[in-house]
Amino acid sequence: MHSSTKQHNFSAGPAILPPSVLKEASQGVRNLNNSGLSILEISHRSPEFDSIAKEAEALVREIAGVDDSYAVLFLSGGASSQFFMAPMNLLGENETAAYLDTGVWSTKAIKEAKNFGNIEVLASSKDRNYVYIPKRFKKPKDAVYLHMTSNNTIYGTQFQKFPDVEAPLICDMSSDIFSRPIEANKFGMIYSGAQKNIGPAGVTLVIVKKDWLGRTDRNLPSMLNYMTHVEKGSMFNTPPAFPIYVLMLTLRWIKQKGGLAAIEKMNKSKARLLYKEIDNNPCFHGPVDKKDRSLMNVCFLPTKKEFTAPFLEMCKNVGISGVKGHRSVGGFRASIYNAMPRRSVQALVNVMQEFGKKYG
């Protein structure tokens, strides 16, 4: 019995992965490519794993359109470790970095960065509990970089356009990476935990401009220095082998689906379906400014508080899981990442319509 035949998994993350990826990953745990060995028990220096790691890197480069002037790293420690590693590696003590504050994750990135240089927060949408993306802000002056969170899982907002500034962008794309085409050359660095669109928890993708590295003279622990991982091809120490393997399988799936343009088209179609229902159904409304709505995390609130429990119950009864909203927003949230099939979104829309008829 396959998982996706039983549950519509709207979890915000770790999140749904393509059934074909889960199937192959499951097989790899028992017997990797008929090697007679499990992916869990082979050396990271073996030819088998080496080819997995190399294919993962090649797929990142191909899918994202990232050339050799960027390093592609597979690290551990999550995006949360990049909050401090980015400024630790890239920002001098007397230099300034600019940040946009679009929610909890931006706020954490800002907090961690403050230990390493001058941090200028150019704009924040905190005034309205982060239901919009700030668009007007003064251009950062002499900033080494501008940091942002491209998609905000908790609030359901997303940058639809990246700001045009002189400074290179550093972007935490943890919750929308590879959900749409990327203009890679706008970015000095892109980082992302794998566990939404590109794999399971336990590996972090870092894409960073090579000529940017070594620009500060901090004496860093080897493991915290990007240069270490560039020089050792992400194998300075034993890498998180299985998460990298599943990431590679997921990237193969993205490529097979037609790459980022095709993926974006599917994501837009799914999001349109759901937002349309939210806007039309008398029992629900969307708190996020329409132009800033996320294609990945669709937040919606009940028009009456007492709708919450029965709607969640109705969802549960048809095998829809993970739609309870984040505690800081309330209501509901449907995370519809790359691997979410349109028919699951339709199943949710059907329940909303049924609920609307009953309670609306």
Residues that bind its own copies (CB under 8 A): 1-3, 5-7, 9, 11-17, 22-23, 25-27, 29-31, 35-38, 40-44, 46, 76-81, 83-84, 88, 108, 111-112, 115, 193, 195, 200-203, 219, 221-224, 236-243, 246, 319, 321-322
Name the residue nearer to its own copies (CB basis): 259 or 322.
322
Name the residue nearer to its own copies (CB basis): 86 or 169.
86
Give the whole-angstrom CA distance, residue 300 versus residue 131: 11
| Marked catalytic residue, from 101, 176, 196, 292 | 196
Name the residue nearer to its own copies (CB basis): 4 or 124.
4
CB atoms within 10 A of CB 41: 9
Name the residue nearer to its own copies (CB basis): 162 or 236.
236
User: Catalytic: 105?
Assistant: yes
**Which tokens belong to 236?**
């300075």
Name the residue nearer to its own copies (CB basis): 88 or 100.
88
Q: Are the C-beta atoms of residues 195 and 15 closer than 8 Å to each other? A: yes
Give the whole-angstrom CA distance, residue 56 versus residue 179: 17
**Nearest by Cα to 165 from 188, 191, 182:** 188
Give the whole-angstrom CA distance, residue 24 versus residue 256: 15
Q: Which residue has the tokens 């700001």?
A: 163
CB of 71 to its own copies, least distance (A): 19
Give the whole-angstrom CA distance, residue 259 versus residue 255: 5
Q: Which residue has the tokens 């399988």?
A: 249
Angstrom CA distances, 293 to 10, 80, 191, 289, stand at 17, 24, 21, 6
Q: Are the C-beta atoms of residues 158 and 152 closer than 8 Å to each other? A: yes
Name the residue nearer to its own copies (CB basis): 32 or 63.
32
Name the residue nearer to its own copies (CB basis): 11 or 281.
11
Angstrom CA distances, 74 to 207, 232, 234, 310, 335, stand at 9, 11, 6, 43, 25
**Nearest by Cα to 73 from 86, 85, 64, 60:** 60
SS3 state of residue 190: strand
CB of 84 to its own copies, least distance (A): 4
| Marked catalytic residue, from 172, 176, 209, 253 | 172
On the CB side of 111, how many CA atoms lie within 13 Å of its CA? 8
User: Catalytic: 211?
Assistant: no
User: Catalytic: 67?
Assistant: no
Residue 261: exposure state from Cβ atoms within 10 A (0-12, 13-18, ≥19): exposed
CB of 326 to its own copies, least distance (A): 10
Q: State the catalytic residues.
A: 105, 172, 196
